[in-house]
A and B are shown apart, each in its own frame.
Chain A
């Protein structure tokens, strides 16, 4: 066996091993990709559950003594204060993003920072899914002249 042949065989064996490794890992990556597709946002949140979100939206936060709907109104559509946003029918991934920012201290509000501080990723996903599922008065600017 010449040196060249030996090197060729070695290269072939190596590439075969790499191919097997790539295919072997494929199924796991496939599951991961499927999981990612079900998530509600790029933040890597679990899938939001509307029913759980509805319950949580009516639960008083420990720090503020207020629930979501205490301030944002039924379905998130009747804010108690003019500076509070309407959140009914808003995009779930945007709502989740806002809550994550408040929780992580990247966005600040006297009430919302405290309200979001104790929320888990799952709770944020649930609340976002619930308010996004509500009928709302919000709209995009498509066709607005």
Chain B
């Protein structure tokens, strides 16, 4: 019986992070001009403002996705063009993640370029 309680306790602990409410970052504010063209030059300062909304998940050290259960990726210092593609794919729905698809919906191409310029420039 003790064992059964131990197992139950372990399971409870394992499930605890998932029981925490998912953080929904506030909607991104956008002062940047939206254009449909590609190859935009990102403005890292505007990206800094937009990136406030990323903090809810990517700014919490060791934060894990609720389901499937894995760490949200480290995105500071990531390749700029990779970040642009990732956000566009989330916006199009060709890359799937409920929170990220929802986030990306609010971003214009210029917003995405700005965010990528800011995030890729972060140093460890």
A binds B: yes
Instruction: Say yes or no for A26: interface residue by CB 8 A criterion.
Output: yes
Quick one: closest A residue to B55, CB to CB? Answer: A141
A48 to chain B, nearest CB (A): 13
How many chain B residues touch A (CB < 8 A): the figure is 40
Instruction: Say yes or no for A142: interface residue by CB 8 A criterion.
Output: yes
| CB contact between A83 and one of B6, B54, B79, B122 (< 8 Å): that residue | B79
Distance of A37 Cα from B61 Cα, bound (Å): 20
Chain B, 1-48, CB within 8 A of any chain A CB: 1, 3-4, 6-7, 10-11, 14, 48
Q: Which residues of B contact A86 (CB under 8 A)?
A: 77-79
* Range of interface residues on A (Cβ < 8 Å): 35 or more
Tell me if A41 and B60 are in contact (CB < 8 A).
no
Tell me if A97 and B70 are in contact (CB < 8 A).
yes
- A 67-88 to B, binary, CB cutoff 8 A, 1 in contact else 0: 0000000000001001111100
Tell me if B76 and A144 are in contact (CB < 8 A).
yes
Tell me if A42 and B3 are in contact (CB < 8 A).
no
**Chain A to chain B: the 8 pairs with minimum beta-carbon distance, closest first:** A42-B69, A91-B71, A138-B74, A141-B59, A93-B70, A139-B76, A82-B81, A83-B81
